[in-house]
């Protein structure tokens, strides 16, 4: 028995097969042979309902009157429709039969009944249908069983039940008999198959069996020789079995409840065809508007041999206007036929509720439940841990990457952050060779926090760590923990860590951890029960919960490490803090090199990467990747064979400045102002020692509201700036406005951004960098929250104001002196710009002569002698808007901050 249950899949299939064989063919022949098989010589035909069928008196009466032939009350011969009601007997009519069936063969054996030819054919047709839906192996099993039935037949008892079903509805006893026989047959078949298989199973022969043995031997090597070889089977219902069972159930249903088991007739038809002939047994008024006619089946069968009315479930119906009218009509008819009141047709009244009527009140509830289910599935869709729907809401949404197939990133793909790679390498070696650390009693850091501006490669580095370690990688964003339901975040964290532990060794990467890891009690957290606080607490708990041998490493990425809760950063949680800044020139070269690997170009790689790196100060890895891709797209658009330097430069320009706005046409006066404004900047950049020389200036309007832009070549990656450099840069920034003043009667709003930069620089010099003798060596945080309560006195505030003003005035004077001296040169540059709209470094060399200071060697290598084809624009807006200048643990050094401010200068947007 146990073996049988182990083989439940086969059993189910075999059971299905038996049911098929028992039911399907019979159901078909059954319907076809209803009329014939239901015809048994009945002893009598009832005359009226009060006389029971088979009453010999009625039969005698009829036979006596007709000489032994069956006649009706009106004297017409049975088997022929009354005039005007032929349609009732036609093929489509209510009394038509549905095909004759052959006489079935009787079995040789008293227990088994052989299948008729028709039944065998039905079996074959069912098999061909099943074959389409089942896998070949399953279909073969079904076929074998079918063959067996064809050969041996079905038990006579089953046959008996099926026969009975033709005349009366399925009762519980018959159903039980059927089920018990079907089960018995299924078991017999199953045990027979098992016996056959175990007989043939003497040792692994086929490749499949060998493989099976190999796999088994892994877990069970101790099997003794001679021990029985039991094959284990998983208990599961496959789709094929399910479909076949459903199909068979449908057939059984159709057998018991044929769809055409009723026919509507008129009162007139009822009267002439049945009532007048004494065939009506009883009438039932349903819901006061419909009457069901129950006939004497045997009598009807004799009179109308082809009528379906002999079938147990078949009924005629007719409609009535009202119960009163119907009763009157019936009484009249019975009176006219002279039926004594004691023998009148009984009429009963019922109220029946159809399935539809039962379901209708439930429809809104069902719809509601279904829609909630649907919405929850949509909301929870895409859960990588296989969870979806409302029941999977607490499941983690982390995407799991398979290290063998999906995480193909390696450290070589992450360019320009050698120190960060070095730091994180330790995690790789821990995940690869944990023994080396555990042997010496070392505790491995639990996690590392990767912080830095967007697109600098934090996720990439985490992926590379997983790729190098060859372990699974769970990636999730902090915001994915947060849901409107309280407790969901914490539950997702639990689920994530649980999954990770199951897959250890592995790496979890939580991107944008600041979404849930903000310092508690500060902005964002409203109270002790805040959902995010709960989520953070769960992260803290889970990270504590690892034991030292659990090889689960948690990496997290954030752009705002300063807002994180200190508890997250303490040793034992995110032990390592790895700051990843935008790449330096050398870093950019390497990032370009990585991304240029897939690009078709014939440029000299060294020169190309060097030049592109010089053109893209302040770019992150993601910007660089975007530029390279954009260049390839531009080249493809122009049907070029390969990507050239011009394509790259256009791409950089497009990425930063946006698309050229051809539709935005400046009027000549505006254009002139822009040209003189830019020329002022260019002259200062050329003649101030510490300013940056111009690379390119354009007065073509672009997206993002810019009327033009200029790019200046920084003197390298500066991290510190002295007062002279700052003054020169401020003077150069003011040059646009000064040039306007010198050349026009009035000034424009175009310099507002320049003033913003200058003010920020001067303020930082005074309040942070100790560059004002009057304020001294003080540092005042540039904190928004201190707007109302300044950390300095009113007198200090006035001093700061006056010092900032003095510095800017100095810069202005320095600028004005130079531009007054070089007024003619400004004119030359501006006119050149007006005529060409875009001028480059070479144009300046031509107009102004060589710059009178030593150039940065690295840059001149890439820009001198190239025909001034470069097109470097300012870095993107979001990159340039730096955090408060200077100070703070995560704020770049002053030099870098200024560098960024400087990078954006030249933008003429209002
Ligand atoms: N150092 C790098 N070397 C090569 N490619 C890089 C580098 N940094 C960034 N990239 C490119 O930029 C893309 C985006 O990087 P990534 O998603 O790692 O940035 P991130 O720092 O995680 O950004 P965010 O903070 O917005 O999540 C990478 O897929 C890669 O193509």
Q: Supply the DSSP string of 657-687, one letter for each residue.
A: H-SB-TT----HHHHHHHHHHHHHHHHHHHH
Mean per-residue pLDDT for 102-117?
56
Cα separation values, 608 from 199, 275, 594, 626, Å? 75, 104, 13, 16
> Whose C-alpha lies nearest to ligand 1, atom 24?
454
Please state the length of the chain. 910
Mean per-residue pLDDT for 843-859?
80
The pLDDT value recorded for residue 605 is 85
Q: Which residue has the tokens 């379901």?
A: 359
CA 459 to chain centre: 21
Any idea what DSSP says for residue 436?
H
Mean per-residue pLDDT for 58-68?
38
CA of 336 to the centre of ligand 1 (A): 99
Residue 300 or 173, more confident:
300
> Whose C-alpha lies nearest to ligand 1, atom 18?
457
Mean per-residue pLDDT for 867-882?
36
Check pocket membership of 417 for ligand 1, CB cut-off 6 A. Answer: yes
Alpha-carbon span 217 to 230, nearest angstrom: 13
Check pocket membership of 456 for ligand 1, CB cut-off 6 A. Answer: yes
Highest mean pLDDT pick, 195-209, 442-456, 743-757: 743-757
Q: Which residue has the tokens 């075999």?
A: 14
- The rounded percent of the chain whose pLDDT value lies above 90 is 11
The pLDDT value recorded for residue 394 is 57
Q: Which among 569, 481, 565, 567 is positioned nearest to 531, based on CA atoms?
A: 481
pLDDT tens for 207-229 read: 444 444 444 444 444 444 433 44
Mean per-residue pLDDT for 892-909?
30
Check pocket membership of 590 for ligand 1, CB cut-off 6 A. Answer: no
Contacts of 721 (CB under 8 A, 6+ apart): 894, 895, 898
Any idea what DSSP says for residue 604?
-
> If you count DSSP H runs as helices and E runs as strands, how many of each does the chain have, helices first?
35, 16
Q: Please, are residues 556 and 449 in contact by the beta-carbon 8 Å criterion?
A: yes
Nearest atom (ligand 1) to Cα of 583? 1
Which segments of 744-788 does DSSP mark as H helices, in order?
752-767
pLDDT above 80 (res 240) = no
pLDDT above 80 (res 707) = no
Q: Please, are residues 764 and 730 in contact by the beta-carbon 8 Å criterion?
A: no
The pLDDT value recorded for residue 20 is 38
Check pocket membership of 414 for ligand 1, CB cut-off 6 A. Answer: yes
Cα separation values, 573 from 153, 477, 570, 670, Å? 74, 18, 6, 58
CA of 460 to the centre of ligand 1 (A): 5
Q: Please, are residues 698 and 658 in contact by the beta-carbon 8 Å criterion?
A: no
Mean per-residue pLDDT for 231-235?
39
Cα separation values, 648 from 413, 847, 855, Å? 21, 27, 24
Alpha-carbon span 825 to 844, nearest angstrom: 10
CA 321 to chain centre: 58
> Whose C-alpha lies nearest to ligand 1, atom 29?
460
Residue 201 or 368, more confident:
368
CA of 445 to the centre of ligand 1 (A): 24
The pLDDT value recorded for residue 388 is 45
pLDDT above 60 (res 560) = yes
Nearest atom (ligand 1) to Cα of 463? 18
The pLDDT value recorded for residue 38 is 33
Nearest atom (ligand 1) to Cα of 456? 21
Check pocket membership of 457 for ligand 1, CB cut-off 6 A. Answer: yes
pLDDT above 70 (res 907) = no
Residue 115 or 843, more confident:
843
Strands 506-511 and 473-477, by their bridges, are parallel
The pLDDT value recorded for residue 894 is 27
Check pocket membership of 458 for ligand 1, CB cut-off 6 A. Answer: yes
Catalytic residues: 678
One-character DSSP codes across 385-399: TS--SGGGTTS--PE
Exposed e or buried b per residue across 869-887, where buried means at least 16 C-beta atoms within 10 angstroms of its C-beta = ebbbbbbbeebbebbebbb
The pLDDT value recorded for residue 206 is 41
CA of 455 to the centre of ligand 1 (A): 4
The pLDDT value recorded for residue 676 is 92
Q: Which among 660, 687, 676 is positioned nearest to 832, based on CA atoms?
A: 676
Highest mean pLDDT pick, 73-77, 133-137, 188-192, 841-845: 841-845
pLDDT tens for 34-52 read: 333 333 333 333 333 333 3
Sign of the alpha-carbon torsion through 565, 570, 574, 580: positive
Q: Which of 415, 460, 582 has most ligand 1 atoms within 8 Å of its beta carbon, as the pocket-test mutant?
A: 460
Kindly indicate the confidence band of residue 563, based on its pLDDT and cuts at 50, 70 and 90: confident
The pLDDT value recorded for residue 525 is 46
Residue 748 or 13, more confident:
748
Alpha-carbon span 323 to 329, nearest angstrom: 10
Q: Please, are residues 862 and 607 in contact by the beta-carbon 8 Å criterion?
A: yes
Residue 561 or 392, more confident:
561
The pLDDT value recorded for residue 683 is 92
Check pocket membership of 625 for ligand 1, CB cut-off 6 A. Answer: yes
Residue 658 or 772, more confident:
772
Check pocket membership of 594 for ligand 1, CB cut-off 6 A. Answer: yes
Residue 497 or 147, more confident:
497
The pLDDT value recorded for residue 813 is 95
Check pocket membership of 627 for ligand 1, CB cut-off 6 A. Answer: no
The model's pTM is 0.54
The pLDDT value recorded for residue 444 is 72
**Which of the residue ranges 10-19, 518-527, 666-675 would you say has the lowest mean pLDDT?**
10-19
**List of E strands, 570-681:** 574-579
Kindly indicate the confidence band of residue 818, based on its pLDDT and cuts at 50, 70 and 90: very high
Q: Please, are residues 48 and 276 in contact by the beta-carbon 8 Å criterion?
A: no
Element (H, E) at 648: helix 645-657
Nearest atom (ligand 1) to Cα of 416? 1
Q: Please, are residues 730 and 756 in contact by the beta-carbon 8 Å criterion?
A: no
Which token pair is 523? 């902005």
Check pocket membership of 587 for ligand 1, CB cut-off 6 A. Answer: no
3-state helix, strand, coil in the chain (%, to 5): 55, 10, 40
The pLDDT value recorded for residue 364 is 79
pLDDT above 90 (res 742) = yes
Exposed e or buried b per residue across 657-686, where buried means at least 16 C-beta atoms within 10 angstroms of its C-beta = bbeebeeeebeeeebbbbbbbbbbbbbbbb
The pLDDT value recorded for residue 85 is 40
Kindly indicate the confidence band of residue 893, based on its pLDDT and cuts at 50, 70 and 90: very low
Nearest atom (ligand 1) to Cα of 558? 25
The pLDDT value recorded for residue 28 is 37
Strands 315-319 and 290-295, by their bridges, are antiparallel
- 267 burial level (CB within 10 Å; 0-12, 13-18, 19+): middle
The pLDDT value recorded for residue 820 is 94
Cα separation values, 91 from 98, 100, 286, 308, 509, Å? 8, 12, 28, 11, 74
Alpha-carbon span 396 to 496, nearest angstrom: 5
The pLDDT value recorded for residue 872 is 37
Any idea what DSSP says for residue 518?
B
Alpha-carbon span 79 to 307, nearest angstrom: 9
Q: What is the mean pLDDT of the chain?
A: 70
Mean per-residue pLDDT for 62-75?
39
Q: Could you give the count of Cα atoms lying within 13 Å of 484 in the half-sphere of its Cβ?
A: 2
pLDDT above 80 (res 482) = no
Which token pair is 236? 């599961």
CA of 456 to the centre of ligand 1 (A): 5
Alpha-carbon span 675 to 678, nearest angstrom: 5
> Whose C-alpha lies nearest to ligand 1, atom 23?
455
Contacts of 288 (CB under 8 A, 6+ apart): 322, 323, 349
Which token pair is 57? 């008196």
Q: Is the peptide bond before 520 cis (omega within 30 degrees of 0)?
A: no
pLDDT tens for 267-316 read: 888 888 888 888 888 899 988 888 988 888 888 888 887 777 776 677 88
CA of 464 to the centre of ligand 1 (A): 11
pLDDT tens for 583-623 read: 888 888 899 998 988 888 888 888 888 888 888 878 888 99
To the nearest 10°, report the CA torsion of 890, 892, 898, 900.
-90
CA of 454 to the centre of ligand 1 (A): 8
Q: Please, are residues 470 and 432 in contact by the beta-carbon 8 Å criterion?
A: yes
pLDDT above 50 (res 122) = yes
């Amino acid at each position: 028995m146990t073996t049988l249950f182990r083989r439940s899949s086969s059993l189910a299939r075999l059971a299905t097969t038996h049911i098929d064989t028992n039911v399907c063919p019979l159901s078909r022949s059954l319907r076809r042979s209803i009329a014939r098989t239901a015809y048994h010589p009945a002893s009598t035909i009832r005359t009226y309902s009060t006389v029971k069928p088979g009453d010999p008196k009625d039969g005698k009466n009829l036979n006596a009157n007709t000489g032994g032939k069956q006649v009706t009350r009106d004297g017409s011969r049975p088997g022929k429709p009354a005039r005007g009601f032929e349609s009732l007997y036609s093929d489509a009519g209510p009394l038509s039969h549905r095909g004759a069936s052959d006489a079935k063969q009787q079995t040789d054996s008293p227990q088994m009944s052989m299948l008729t030819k028709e039944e065998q054919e039905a079996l074959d047709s069912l098999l061909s249908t099943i074959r389409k839906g089942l896998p070949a192996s399953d279909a073969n099993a079904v076929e074998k069983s079918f063959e067996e039935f064809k050969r041996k037949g079905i038990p006579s008892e089953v046959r008996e039940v099926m026969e009975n079903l033709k005349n009366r509805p399925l009762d519980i006893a018959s159903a039980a008999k059927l089920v018990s026989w079907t089960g018995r047959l299924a078991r017999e078949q199953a045990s027979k198959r098992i016996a056959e298989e175990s007989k043939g199973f003497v040792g692994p022969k086929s490749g499949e069996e060998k493989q099976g043995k190999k796999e088994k031997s892994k877990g069970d090597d101790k099997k003794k020789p001679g021990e029985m070889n039991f094959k284990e089977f998983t208990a599961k219902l496959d789709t094929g079995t399910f479909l076949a069972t459903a199909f068979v159930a449908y057939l059984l249903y159709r057998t018991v409840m044929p769809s055409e088991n009723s026919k509507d007739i008129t009162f007139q038809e009822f009267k002439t065809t049945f009532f007048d002939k004494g065939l009506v047994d009883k009438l039932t008024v349903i819901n006061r508007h419909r009457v069901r006619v129950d006939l004497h089946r045997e009598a009807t069968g004799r009179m109308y041999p082809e009528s379906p009315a002999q079938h147990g479930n078949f009924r005629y119906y007719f409609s009535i206007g009202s119960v009163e009218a119907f009763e009157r009509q019936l009484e009249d008819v019975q009176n006219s036929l002279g039926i004594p009141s004691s023998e009148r047709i009984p009429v009963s009244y019922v109220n029946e509720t159809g399935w539809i009527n039962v379901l209708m009140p439930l429809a809104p509830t069902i719809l509601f439940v279904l829609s909630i289910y649907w919405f929850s599935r949509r909301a929870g869709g895409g859960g990588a841990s296989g969870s979806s729907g409302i029941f999977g809401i607490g499941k983690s949404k982390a995407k799991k990457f398979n290290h063998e197939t999906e995480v193909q990133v390696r450290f070589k793909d992450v360019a320009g952050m050698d120190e960060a790679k070095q730091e994180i390498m330790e995690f790789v070696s821990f995940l690869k060779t944990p023994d080396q650390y555990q042997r010496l009693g070392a505790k491995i850091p639990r996690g590392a926090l990767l912080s830095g501006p967007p697109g600098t490669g934090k996720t990439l580095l985490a992926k590379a760590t997983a790729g190098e370690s060859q372990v699974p990688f769970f990636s999730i964003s902090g915001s994915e923990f947060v849901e409107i339901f309280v407790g969901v975040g914490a539950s997702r964290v639990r689920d994530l860590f649980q999954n990770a532990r199951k897959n250890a060794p592995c790496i979890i990467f939580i991107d944008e951890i600041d979404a849930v890891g903000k310092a508690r009690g500060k902005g964002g957290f409203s109270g002790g029960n805040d959902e995010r606080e709960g989520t953070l607490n769960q992260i803290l708990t889970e990270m504590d919960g690892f034991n030292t041998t659990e090889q689960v490493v948690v990496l997290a990425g954030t752009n705002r490490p300063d807002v994180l809760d200190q508890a997250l950063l303490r040793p034992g949680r995110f032990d390592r803090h790895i700051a990843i800044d935008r790449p330096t020139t050398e870093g950019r070269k390497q990032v370009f090199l990585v991304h240029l690997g897939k690009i078709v170009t014939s440029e000299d790689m060294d020169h190309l990467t060097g030049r592109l790196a010089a053109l893209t100060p302040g770019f992150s890895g993601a910007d660089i990747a975007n530029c390279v891709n954009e260049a390839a797209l531009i080249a493809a658009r122009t049907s070029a064979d390969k990507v050239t330097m011009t394509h790259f430069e256009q791409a950089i320009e497009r990425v930063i400045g946006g698309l050229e706005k051809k539709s935005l046409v400046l009027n000549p006066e505006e254009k002139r102002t822009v040209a003189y404004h830019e020329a002022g900047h260019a002259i200062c950049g050329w003649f101030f020692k510490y300013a940056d020389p111009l690379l390119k200036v354009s007065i073509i309007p672009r997206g993002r509201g810019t009327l033009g832009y200029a790019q200046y070549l920084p003197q390298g990656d500066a991290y510190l700036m002295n007062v002279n450099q700052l003054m020169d840069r401020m003077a150069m920034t003011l040059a646009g406005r000064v040039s306007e003043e010198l050349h026009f009667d009035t000034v424009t709003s175009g310099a507002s951004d320049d003033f913003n930069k200058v003010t920020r620089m001067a303020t930082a010099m005074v309040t942070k960098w100790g560059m004002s003798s009057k304020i001294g060596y003080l540092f005042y945080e540039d904190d928004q929250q201190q707007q109302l309560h300044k950390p300095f006195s009113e007198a200090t505030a006035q001093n700061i104001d006056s010092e900032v003003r003095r510095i800017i005035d100095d810069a202005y004077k320095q600028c004005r002196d130079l531009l007054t001296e070089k007024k003619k040169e400004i004119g030359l540059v501006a006119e050149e710009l007006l005529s060409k709209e875009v001028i480059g470094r070479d144009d300046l060399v031509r107009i102004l002569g060589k710059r009178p200071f030593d150039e940065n060697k690295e840059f001149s290598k890439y820009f001198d002698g190239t025909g001034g084809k470069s097109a470097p624009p300012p870095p993107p807006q979001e990159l340039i808007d730096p955090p408060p200048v200077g100070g703070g643990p995560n704020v770049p050094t002053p030099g870098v901050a200024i560098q960024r401010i400087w990078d954006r200068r030249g933008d003429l947007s209002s």
